[in-house]
Amino acid sequence: MRARPTVGELACLVHALEAERSARPAVEQALRRRGGADDLVCLRDWLGAVDEDSARRIADTDAALRAVSGGALAAGALLGLVTALGVFFYDGSGRVNVLAVLGVMVVLPGVLLLSSWLGASPRGSGAVARALAALGAWSPGRLVARWSRRAGRRGSSALATLLDPRHHVLGLAPVRRWAVVRWSHLLGTGFFLGALATLLALVVFTDLAFGWSTTLRATPEGLRDLVAVVAAPWAWAVPAASPDLETIAATRWFRAGQGGGPTAPPALLGQWWPFLAAALAVYGLLPRIASAALASMLLRRATGRAFVGLPAARALLARIGAAEVDTRAPTPEPAPPPPEAPRRLEAPVPVVGGCEAVVSWSAVPVPDLVLADLLDADRVLHAGGARTVAEDEAVLDALADGAGRVVVVTKAWEPPLLELRDFVDALVARRSGAVAVMPVAVDDGVLRPPRAADLAVWERGFADCAVPLVAPPREDRP
Amino acid sequence: MSPPRFAVVGHPNKGKSSLVATLAEDESVRIAPESGTTTRAVTYPMRVRGETLYELIDTPGFQRARRALGLIEQRAATAAARREAVRAFVAEHRADPMFRAECELLAPVVEGAGIIYVVDGAVPYGPEYEPEMEILRWSGQPSLAVINPIGTRDHVREWRDALGQYFRVVREMDVLAAPVEQRLDLLRAFGELDPAWRPALERAVEALRAERHRLRVRAARVIAEMLVEALTLAPERRLRADDDPQAARAELEHAYADSLRGLETAARARVERLYHHEALARDEAVLESIEADLLAARTWQLFGLDRLTLAGVGAGGGAAAGLGVDAALGGLSGFLGAAIGGVAGGAAAWLAADRLARFETRDLPFGEQVLAVRAGASRNLPFVLLGRARVHHALVARRSHARRDPLVVEGTSAGLPGDARQRLARLFERAADAGDDGAEAVVESLAEAIAPLLESEPEPAA
Ligand SMILES: Nc1nc2c(ncn2[C@@H]2O[C@H](COP(=O)(O)OP(=O)(O)OP(=O)(O)O)[C@@H](O)[C@H]2O)c(=O)[nH]1
Ligand SMILES: [Mg+2]
């Protein structure tokens, strides 16, 4: 059996999805391989994969949510207690006014109940919606979000993500709404439980004198009819909770002109409490319990829908479930070895004075005479390029044991190859004279300094070589 | 039968890895200006639902081709023995540091891989290429040369002549800039090298095309979500008695622009990830301009329109005027024209050019006030966002995975067809009204409407 997702689980999912806006391809790829799972299972697996602590976090978040619900119930009960103590306040003088009790404890909460459902309807009509939106500054969701952030508990950041209305998450609105509606009904339930308990306690441990009193012109018969209608749901079962005309007539009370003392038989004065208790239970407590239950159901449904229906979740599922076309390397190319520090980033030294020989490496497209003239060289030799290794050897032999300078001219636009390094190393090993490498650019048979980008390639290529890189002499120099 | 394999070989630093990264859409390939960046052969298999259709192999460049050719020549007395000589060379020198690069690159070739030889068409041909081309020819494997002009095309003709001597098929492709169709074309050419390879490559090209289509649909969804989120965005700020309303407004507007920027950035990142551009650097300076772009006159002025022009356009009346602007700018204006079209009347256009945000003040109990940005109050906003998203998508969708420069989102999108504009305007209105509850349905319809608009990729600015 698969459990439905809880609100805590949804909160953790939303939190993870927000945090994972930069997705983890590896996790997604691993899930993709498994295949076959439905959306709910897939999302749960994903959550487990991106957050190995997710089970704990979910449990913590659900616990925090339960704590909020418990808190709402407790706060309601306290409120009910305080209100009931006020409404049923009786110090022996006067009466507890039944009409006032009905107004404060039944009619007012009834209006609030109605407005809470109206406000919860997804499309509140203009004026109502606006009035409720103005109340939004005190949104319980925002309060809870703030509380959970303050509380700094594990899982509380997930809760804050879920509940803070300022945090915009597409597709979460129904969950937020039903969570808040449910809490408000729990608060109401607590209120009536507290009020009822207080009434019963007062009835048991003190004696209350009820009466009814109004400035309006009212007759006992009129009130009797009203009471009969109000008591209709329970009169047939508990006749004692439906005051008769005798009680009603006897308990009417005027504050002025009667000297304040009770006139009716004291036994009759207590007769109202079963009626009030029943009214509180039937018109206050029961609707709130029913509302809380309905809100819980709607919350569960919204949670289940949001879990697999959040746009971010859908996008994730699409990524995981997409028919797989993959062109990339299964494992990325290994990181490069630490780079050799480019040893000669300084500008190449210009050639001064003559040299014994110039080697044109792999057919630099400049006439030999030009090269010889420019570098003041006795001879120009050729190596590399299309020539064989044996021909290179012949050049090396010809230059062996010399003491003058040898400059190897190369095309700067071609990268330095190891075979050039082989040649230069052999040259250095066989001669006592200086050896230099001169990468050059050529423009229509004229030597030019290499482009900066090309030079950088050469400087890196020769980073670990003792042979200096030199710049070509300027054309205009004699 | 094992899938066809293609070894991408050549001189160092000629864009071999760049070609592989582009075709394999893999940004993890090591590419650098230095020569010798690739030191080992790396395989990039192309898989469709787990089945490998072909493999690309990136290899290090030749370092001692002449020496290797010399050794191979010694072994091959006759032309018939050449192929075997190359194989024997690889077998013998596998562990020899002297020929590490040569063995790495020749090993897949002697095992039957096709040869993709890459050269740079911006620099002249030279004799140093001949030994390596000779070795490749001796291997006897089917081969194709790719001229990659790194920069200019100055020497392409020269290269064509030289390569024609060694390779039956010579192609030119600017690896970093080639549009997707051209890349697929090159892949198809790989398949032509051997009749046995053809079906696999044809299937691969089809799969890649289909995948492109799927990606566009998914990108459309990402953009639709971003738009709906932007339209339902309604930041607010408590106004206390001692607050300066002007400053509060500026602050709220700032916060609003921040949120929009956040939404756009997140959506861009998601689109980039769809296309496997996961580590794409963005030009943040350009991103910064969104506040100006979205909330003020800048967007309009970018197109050379001043407020008076705008007012004139608006006065012309509604959507028809918007069409007129599009026509006048030769379709250049794109979302701009659409945005104007949605606003009726000159004054509205004039105002809209100035501010896209609309504010309202609400009373709270106990004499407090809330200053809020009215969600969806601007008809221009979603069109501007969509236009920007289309430009970004086009750039990302065609961007080669070999590029290492930051992405600069610039340019304009092609104009929206009239019916698409109408449909979008209706959907935007629905999104703004729907609240969070109906959002999902609107996202769905919006994505549907946007996908075909990504189809015709807008041209990035020159
Ligand atoms: N402008 C431009 N640059 C390119 C192009 N192709 C490659 N490059 C650049 O050339 C340099 C070398 O590219 P790579 O792909 O690493 O070349 P390679 O052949 O793999 O090099 P090695 O691995 O060193 O042998 C990089 O800086 C690339 O950005 C191109 O088509 N245009
Ligand atoms: Mg490389």
Is pLDDT larger for residue B416 or for residue A122? Answer: B416
Cβ of B31 closer than 6 Å to ligand 1, yes or no, is yes
Same-domain pairing of A371 and A281: no
- For residues A201 and A275, state if they share a domain: yes
What would the DSSP string read from start to end of B240-269?
Answer: -TTS-HHHHHHHHHHHHHHHHHHHHHHHHH
Look at ligand 1, atom 32, and give the residue with the nearest C-alpha.
Answer: B150
Helix H or strand E encompassing A97: strand A96-97
Among the candidates A256, A288, A309, a domain finishes at A309
- The answer, yes or no, to whether residue A346 has pLDDT greater than 50, is no
Q: Which residue has the higher pLDDT, A414 or B327?
A: A414
Which of B117, B119, B150 is the best mutation target for the ligand 1 pocket, counting ligand atoms within 8 Å of the beta carbon and taking the most?
Answer: B150
The shortest CB-CB distance from A333 to any of B42, B123, B225 is to: B42
CB A175 within 8 A of CB A10: yes
For residue B172 and ligand 1, the question of a CB distance below 6 A is answered with: no
Strand-pair partners of B56? B6, B44
Residues of chain A with C-beta less than 8 angstroms from the C-beta of B37? 336
Taking 70 as the pLDDT cut, the residues of chain B under it are 283-359, 363-368, 374-380, 410-415, 418, 435-437, 456-462
- What gap in Å lies between CA B441 and CA B439, rounded to an integer? 6
Judge if A78 and A193 occupy the same domain.
yes
Of the candidates B429, A141, A228, the one whose C-alpha atom is nearest the C-alpha of residue A149 is: A141
- How far, in Å, CA of B76 to CA of B87, rounded? 11
Residues of B in contact with A308 (CB under 8 A): none
**A247 contacts A268 by C-beta, under 8 angstroms:** yes
| B431 residue type, one letter | A
Answer whether residue A31 shows pLDDT above 80.
Answer: no
Q: State how far the Cα of A92 lies from the Cα of B328, in Å rounded to an integer.
A: 90
Q: What's the pLDDT at B256?
A: 82
Same domain, A290 and A356: no
Q: Which residue has the higher pLDDT, B298 or A172?
A: A172
* Type of residue numbered B39: T
**Residue identifier of the C-alpha nearest atom 30 of ligand 1:** B150
Ranges assigned E (strand) in B314-384 = 359-363, 369-373
Domain identity same for A257 and A357? no
Taking every pair of C-alpha atoms in chain A, what is the biggest distance, in angstroms?
A: 142
Query: Inter-chain contact B49–A453, Cβ cutoff 8 Å?
Result: no
Among the three residues A309, A339, A371, which one is the final residue of a domain in this structure? A309
Contact B128 A389 (CB under 8 A): no
Contacts B218 to A, Cβ<8 Å: 315, 318-319, 322
Distance from the alpha carbon of residue B38 to the mean position of ligand 2, in angstroms? 4
Mean pLDDT of the region A54-59 = 88
Residue A86 to residue A70: CA distance in whole angstroms: 24
User: Of the candidates A324, A336, A457, which has its C-beta nearest B35's C-beta?
Assistant: A457
Contact B122, B88 (CB under 8 A): no
Number of structural domains chain A divides into: 2
Higher pLDDT, A104 or A379: A379
How many angstroms separate the CA atoms of B42 and A397, rounded?
40
Phi and psi at residue A96, in whole multiples of 5°?
-85, 120
Q: Check pLDDT > 50 for residue A85.
A: yes
Tokens of A461: 């290529």
The answer to whether the CB of B145 falls within 8 A of the CB of B167 is yes
End-to-end C-alpha distance for chain B, whole angstroms: 46
Instruction: Let me know whether A80 and A187 are in one domain.
Output: yes
Q: How many residues does chain B have?
A: 462
Residue A476 has phi, psi (to 5 degrees) of: -75, -5
Dist CA B403 CA B426 (whole Å): 39
Instruction: Specify the pLDDT at position B400.
Output: 95
Cβ-contact A327, B26 below 8 angstroms = yes
Indicate whether residue B400 lines ligand 1 (CB < 6 A).
Answer: no
User: From the CA of B292, how many Å to the nearest CA of chain A?
Assistant: 23
Of A172, A365, A385, the CB nearest to B128: A385
For residues B335 and B396, the answer to whether their CB atoms sit within 8 Å is no
Give the whole-angstrom CA distance, residue B248 versus residue B273: 37
Comparing A58-67, A339-348, A410-419, B142-151, which segment has the lowest mean pLDDT?
A339-348
- B127 phi, psi to nearest 5 deg: -65, -20
Q: Which two tokens stand for residue B60?
A: 């290090």
A74 is a domain residue: yes
Whether B39 is in the pocket of ligand 1, judged by its Cβ within 6 Å, is no
What residues of B are in contact with residue A309 (Cβ under 8 Å)? Answer: 440
Residue A465 — pLDDT band, cuts 50, 70, 90?
Answer: confident
CB atoms within 10 A of CB B161: 10
Three-point CA angle B175, B181, B182, nearest 5°:
40
Shared-domain flag, residues A359 and A263: no
Q: Which pLDDT score, from 0 to 100, does residue A260 have?
A: 46
CA distances (Å), origin B200, targets B32, B190, B194, B206: 32, 10, 11, 10
Contact B180, B216 (CB under 8 A): no
DSSP three-state, residue A155 = coil
Task: Compute the distance between CA of residue A5 and CA of residue A14 in angstroms, rounded to an integer.
Answer: 12
- Size of the A and B interface in Cβ pairs below 8 Å: 185
Domain assignment present for residue A268? The answer is yes
A300 and A372 inside one domain: no
Interval between CA A457 and ligand 2 midpoint (Å)? 14
3-state secondary structure of B25: coil
Nearest to A206 by CA among A347, A96, A99: A96
CATH code for the domain in which residue A456 is found:
3.40.50
SS (H, E, C) B269-318: HHHHHHCCCCCCCECHHHHHCHHHHHHCCHHHHHCCCCHHHHHHHHHCCH
At B186 the pLDDT is: 97
Asked if A310 contacts B26 with a C-beta cutoff of 8 angstroms, the reply is no
What pLDDT score was predicted for residue A140?
53
Q: How many CA atoms lie within 13 A of A294 on its CB side?
A: 12
Specify the range with the lowest mean pLDDT, choosing from A209-223, A258-272, A394-408: A258-272
Nearest CA to A255 among A97, A104, A103? A97
In a domain, A376, yes or no: yes
Kindly state whether residue A252 falls inside one of the protein's structural domains.
Answer: yes
Of chain A, the end-to-end C-alpha distance in Å amounts to 94
Gap between the Cα atoms of A239 and A235, Å rounded: 5
Nearest in space to A21 (alpha carbons), one of B264, B459, B386: B264
Report if residue A332 sits inside a domain: no
Q: Look up residue A131 and give its two tokens.
A: 């009035």
Residue with the two structure tokens 């006048």: B328
Largest interatomic CA distance in chain B: 103
Atom of ligand 1 nearest to the CA of B61: 25
A430: containing domain? 349-471
Same domain for A272 and A393, yes or no, is no
Q: For residue B8, report the phi and psi dihedrals to the nearest 5 degrees.
A: -90, 110
Q: Are residues A290 and A224 in the same domain?
A: yes
Q: Please indicate whether, in this complex, the C-beta atoms of B24 and A336 are within 8 angstroms of each other.
A: no
Question: What ipTM was assigned to the predicted interfaces of this complex?
Answer: 0.81
CA distance A64 to A153: 8
Residues A148, A168: Cα–Cα separation, whole Å: 17
Residue B128, classed as helix, strand or coil, is helix
Asked whether residue A237 is assigned to any structural domain, the reply reads yes
Considering the domain architecture, whether residues A66 and A186 belong to the same structural domain is answered as yes
CA dist., res. A149 & res. B420, Å (int): 45
Residue A90 covered by a domain: yes
Residue A441 φ then ψ, to 5°:
-95, 150
B146: amino acid identity, one letter:
V
Determine the residue type at B331. Answer: G
**Number of the ligand 1 atom closest to the C-alpha atom of B21:** 15
Q: Quick one: closest CA in A to B13, which residue?
A: A415
Query: Per-residue pLDDT tens for B248-260?
Result: 877 887 788 788 8
B46: left (phi over 0), alpha (psi -120 to 50) or beta: beta
Which of the ligands is closest to the CA of residue B32?
1
CA B298 to chain centre: 26
Q: Nearest Cα to A159, choosing from A142, A134, A173?
A: A142
Written as one letter, the residue type at B309 is T
Claim to verify: residue A74 and residue A190 sit in the same structural domain: yes
Q: Are B25 and B276 in contact (CB under 8 A)?
A: yes
Residue of B11, B14, B16, B18 with the most ligand 1 atoms within 8 Å of its CB, for mutation: B18
Closest CB to A456: pick one of B33, B127, B274. Answer: B33
Higher-pLDDT residue of A106 and B179 is B179
Amino acid letter for position A346: E
- Chain B residues touching residue A422 (CB < 8 angstroms): 64, 67
Residue A257 lies in a domain: yes
Candidate ranges A340-354, A434-448, B417-431; pick with highest mean pLDDT = A434-448
Domain boundary at A254, A283, A309, which?
A: A309
Whether A340 has a pLDDT exceeding 80, the answer reads no
Q: How many helices (H) and strands (E) does chain A have?
A: 20, 10
Six token digits for residue B252:
């709220």
pLDDT of B185: 96
Contact by Cβ (8 Å): B205, B187: yes
